[in-house]
């Protein structure tokens, strides 16, 4: 049996990579007072229909929808922001704090063609700053994304930003853009012509070179923005300059979700391939209010974990593995002293592996060498009777005796001088 198309198993050696990412993100976000939140994988379908937009690909093509036994319309969450917004409203988090800073890491689901870096079940790390309308909050979330990438020692990225204004400003721009694109409708296929009539902004993100050439002379959204939108965007740019965070203003950058306004941004790898977006986000000041909550201007982003692992594969592979003690038992009688030894190792938080194979001593030592352990604790008949451990150092093949009464002292030495 194979996993379903577009899904994959995450194996034990890969879990270590996931833990590294989680720990790095948690350490950085905790300093900035972001608290972790977990939302259900299942949500009411109407939640996403209200927030994402009826003419988006996610709603029309990609959501996993089904009816449960009571005929309720259920969806596997396709993205994290809307679920966090729903949790913010339903749990009335706004009563305790005017500004809530939240982060999450978990699986999302979209029905799309599986390819490298894109799966039907995928995982995202995301942050949401709920309750602030000032440009500095936009800059804070962008800076945190950059800090996480830098902590992963990844520098081959570029930050693209744009202002997509308000819903009213985009509505005026859509009319101008549709008028311009209609002149070239004979160059477009049926699906693209349909998109021009329903959601023309998505054409700006088209990867086809001929479409890109046509868009060079298309109307620019920035020319339809009022002073409030322009001033907000200019302030974001000034802060990024002050922080020495390089950025590119991409006039054609629009996010694929209807709830965004003002700042939109993407962080992309410089490698040349279609799936090059590592992180994307922006401001969404009306989402929570439109879902029935209080007026709560917000900003956030989501980062694809699978894509992050692909671009940083070498970094993760080079992470040094912690040396682990390998415990060998030769006598199946009266071996209960092993639990005292294990309890000591737990107290000192020293990683160990207990051999459970019942093989002879030579085979167990060979196994310890093969899996690159450094130290063997050997317990045979004599050791158990006389209450000592034979310590075998595998890199030098030397041995020593440590009596149980001296074990604490020896473990302290190991922890602070050898296993670091």
For residue 329, what are the β-bridge partners? 379
pLDDT at 54: 60
Give the pLDDT confidence of 186-231 residue by residue, as tens digits.
777 777 777 787 778 888 877 778 888 888 888 889 999 999 999 9
CA distance 129 to 138: 9
What integer is the mean pLDDT of 125-151? 96
Q: How confident is the model at residue 10 (pLDDT cuts 50, 70, 90)?
A: confident
Is the per-residue pLDDT at 170 higher than 70? yes
CB burial class (10 A; 0-12, 13-18, 19+) of residue 218?
Answer: middle
pLDDT at 315: 60
- 398 assigned to a ligand binding site: no
What is the residue-wise DSSP string for 145-204? HHHHHHHTT---EEEEEEE---HHHHHHHHHHHHHHHHTTGGGS-HHHHHHHHH-GGGGG
Q: Which residues of 220-245 are buried (b: 16+ CB within 10 A; e: fewer)?
A: ebbebbeeebeebbebbbebbeeeee
**Number of Cβ within a 10 Å radius of residue 384:** 19
Is the per-residue pLDDT at 157 higher than 80? yes
- 256 assigned to a ligand binding site: no
Q: Quick one: CA dihedral 203, 205, 211, 216, positive or negative?
A: positive
CA distance 30 to 395: 40
Q: Which residues of 364-381 are buried (b: 16+ CB within 10 A; e: fewer)?
A: bbebbeeeebbbbbbbee
pLDDT at 123: 93
pLDDT at 401: 93
The first and second tokens of residue 13, run together, are 């050696």
- 255 assigned to a ligand binding site: yes
pLDDT at 316: 62
Q: How confident is the model at residue 390 (pLDDT cuts 50, 70, 90)?
A: very high
**Residue 113 main-chain phi, psi, to 5 deg:** -65, 120
What integer is the mean pLDDT of 152-157? 87
Q: How confident is the model at residue 240 (pLDDT cuts 50, 70, 90)?
A: very high
The per-residue pLDDT of the chain, averaged, comes to 87
- 271 assigned to a ligand binding site: no
CA distances 151 to 27, 161, 210, 394, Å, are: 10, 22, 39, 34
Top-confidence residue, 268 or 258: 268
Helix (H) or strand (E) holding 316: helix 313-317
What is the residue-wise DSSP string for 225-271? --HHHHHHHHHHHHHHHHTT---EE-TT---SSTT-EEEEEEEEESS
Reduced to 3 states (helix: H, G, I; strand: E, B; else coil), residue 281 is: strand
Top-confidence residue, 363 or 161: 161
What share of the chain in percent tops pLDDT 90? 47
- 20 assigned to a ligand binding site: no
DSSP state of 61: I
pLDDT at 300: 96
- 124 assigned to a ligand binding site: yes
19: left (phi over 0), alpha (psi -120 to 50) or beta: alpha
Give the pLDDT confidence of 97-137 residue by residue, as tens digits.
999 999 999 999 998 777 766 788 999 999 999 999 999 99
- 260 assigned to a ligand binding site: yes
Give the pLDDT confidence of 317-333 residue by residue, as tens digits.
544 555 688 998 887 77
What is the four-CA torsion angle of 162, 298, 289, 89, rounded to 10 degrees? 150
The first and second tokens of residue 171, run together, are 């509505």
pLDDT at 4: 86
Give the pLDDT confidence of 24-70 residue by residue, as tens digits.
999 999 999 999 999 999 999 999 888 876 656 676 678 888 898 99
pLDDT at 263: 94
Contact criterion met (CB below 8 Å) for 132 and 299: yes
What integer is the mean pLDDT of 341-363? 87
Domains in the chain (CATH in brackets) are 12-165+225-317 (3.30.930.10), 325-418 (3.40.50.800)
Estimate to the nearest angstrom the gap between the alpha carbon of 114 and the chain centroid: 18
Q: How confident is the model at residue 394 (pLDDT cuts 50, 70, 90)?
A: confident
pLDDT at 13: 80
Question: pTM above the 0.85 mark?
Answer: no
């Amino acid at each position: 049996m194979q996993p379903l198309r577009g899904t994959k198993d995450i194996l034990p050696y890969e879990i270590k990579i996931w833990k590294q990412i989680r720990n790095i993100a948690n350490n950085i976000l905790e300093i900035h007072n972001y608290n972790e939140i977990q939302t259900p994988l299942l949500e009411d379908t109407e939640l996403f229909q209200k927030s994402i937009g009826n003419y988006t690909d996610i709603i029309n093509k990609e959501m996993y929808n089904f009816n449960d036994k009571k005929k309720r319309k259920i969806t596997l969450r396709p993205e994290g922001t809307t679920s966090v917004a729903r949790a913010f409203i339903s749990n009335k988090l706004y009563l305790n704090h005017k500004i809530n800073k939240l982060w999450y890491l978990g699986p999302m689901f979209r029905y799309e063609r599986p390819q490298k870096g894109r799966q039907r079940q995928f995982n995202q790390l995301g942050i949401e700053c709920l309750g602030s309308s000032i440009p500095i909050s936009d800059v804070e979330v962008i800076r945190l994304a950059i800090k996480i990438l830098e902590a992963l020692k990844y520098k081959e990225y570029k930050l693209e930003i744009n202002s997509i204004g308000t819903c009213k400003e985009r509505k005026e721009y859509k009319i101008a853009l549709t008028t311009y694109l209609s002149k070239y409708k004979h160059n477009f296929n049926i699906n693209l012509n349909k998109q021009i009539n329903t959601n023309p902004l998505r054409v700006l993100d088209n990867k086809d070179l001929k479409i890109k050439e046509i868009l060079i002379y298309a109307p620019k959204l920035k020319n339809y923005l009022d002073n409030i939108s322009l001033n907000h965007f200019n302030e974001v740019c000034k802060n990024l300059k002050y922080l020495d965070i390089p950025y590119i203003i991409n006039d054609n950058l629009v996010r694929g979700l209807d709830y965004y306004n003002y700042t939109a941004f993407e962080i992309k790898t410089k490698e040349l391939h279609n799936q090059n977006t590592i992180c994307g986000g922006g401001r969404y000041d009306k989402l929570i209010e439109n879902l029935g909550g209080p007026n709560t201007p917000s900003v956030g982003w989501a980062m694809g974990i699978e894509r992050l692992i692909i671009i940083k594969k070498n970094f993760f592979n080079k992470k040094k593995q912690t040396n682990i003690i390998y415990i060998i038992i030769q006598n199946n009688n009266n071996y209960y002293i092993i639990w005292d030894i294990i309890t000591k190792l737990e107290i000192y938080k020293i990683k160990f592996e207990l051999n459970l194979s019942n093989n002879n001593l030579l085979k167990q030592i060979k196994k310890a060498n093969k899996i690159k352990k450094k130290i063997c604790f050997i317990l045979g008949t004599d050791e158990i009777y006389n209450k000592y451990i034979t310590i075998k150092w595998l890199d030098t093949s030397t041995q020593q005796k440590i009596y149980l009464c001296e074990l604490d002292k020896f473990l302290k030495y190991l922890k602070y001088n050898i296993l670091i």
